[in-house]
Amino acid sequence: MAMILYDVSVSPNGKRARLGLAETGEAYETKEVDLLGGEQKTSEYKSVHPLGRIPALADDGVLVWESGAILQYVAEKFPDAQLLPASLAARAEVYSWLHFAEAQMHSYMGPMGFQMLRRAPDQRDEKVLARGRKRVPQLLQALDAQLAGKEFIVGDFSIADCANAPWLEFAPHVGIDMEPFKNVTAWLERMKSRPSWQA
Ligand SMILES: N[C@@H](CCC(=O)N[C@@H](CS)C(=O)NCC(=O)O)C(=O)O
């Protein structure tokens, strides 16, 4: 039975999962969840994702939710895709940047994205936007330093790249100036040139 990804095509969180899946080359089906219509709050959908969010992956009786967990799952299930390094020391570095994407970058970018996409301009919480515009450049500075002299975040391509790129593509739309972060912008271009970026 094919894996099923519960997703929303415009979601950066969904794109994290899609990138990982596409990099494996494995077949999967997509079910678009109607967030604006409230489908995510139905008890039927909450039996897939207990918090009523996307993305979630169903794989032959296994349910995985949280985009980072989906990335780890597909990386482990399909080792030939080499989305995780072999040594524990190198995997530790991947895990650090994977969690950086979620615990740091997304905790600012997610609320900023919500204000920009789901609120009318005169209803936006400017404090949320100002907080992110202050903190995200500091996070980008750390990522930029990490990428110096590297093709991808830990050197070889990994799920850390899948976790970080989608929200950073979106950063200019929430008022983040990417120009000072040359290593990040060059890496984003490399990410966009991979066939998986179309997923
Ligand atoms: N940390 C979660 C975030 C998931 C998330 O917040 N997804 C949003 C869409 S981007 C969602 O489903 N929101 C539900 C809603 O708006 O009710 C992940 O990475 O999977």
Residue nearest to atom 19 of ligand 1 (CA): 67
What's the confidence (pLDDT) of residue 118? 86
Largest CA distance in the chain: 50
Same fold, 3-81 and 88-198: no
Residue nearest to atom 6 of ligand 1 (CA): 53
Query: Looking at ligand 1, which atom is closest to the CA of residue 8?
Result: 9
Residue nearest to atom 20 of ligand 1 (CA): 66
What's the confidence (pLDDT) of residue 1? 79
Using alpha carbons, list the distances in angstroms from residue 28 to 58, 101, 117, 124. Answer: 10, 24, 28, 37
What is the chain's mean pLDDT, rounded? 96
Q: Break the chain into its structural domains and give their ranges.
A: 3-81, 88-198
CB 136 within 8 A of CB 108: yes
Distance from Cα 8 to the centre of ligand 1, integer Å: 10
Was domain 88-198 assigned CATH 1.20.1050.10?
Answer: yes
What's the confidence (pLDDT) of residue 104? 97
Q: What span, in angstroms and rounded, lies between the C-alpha atoms of 32 and 179?
A: 34
* Structural fold of domain 3-81: Glutaredoxin (3.40.30)
- The secondary element (H helix, E strand) that includes residue 166 is helix 159-170
What's the confidence (pLDDT) of residue 166? 96
Distance from Cα 149 to the centre of ligand 1, integer Å: 33
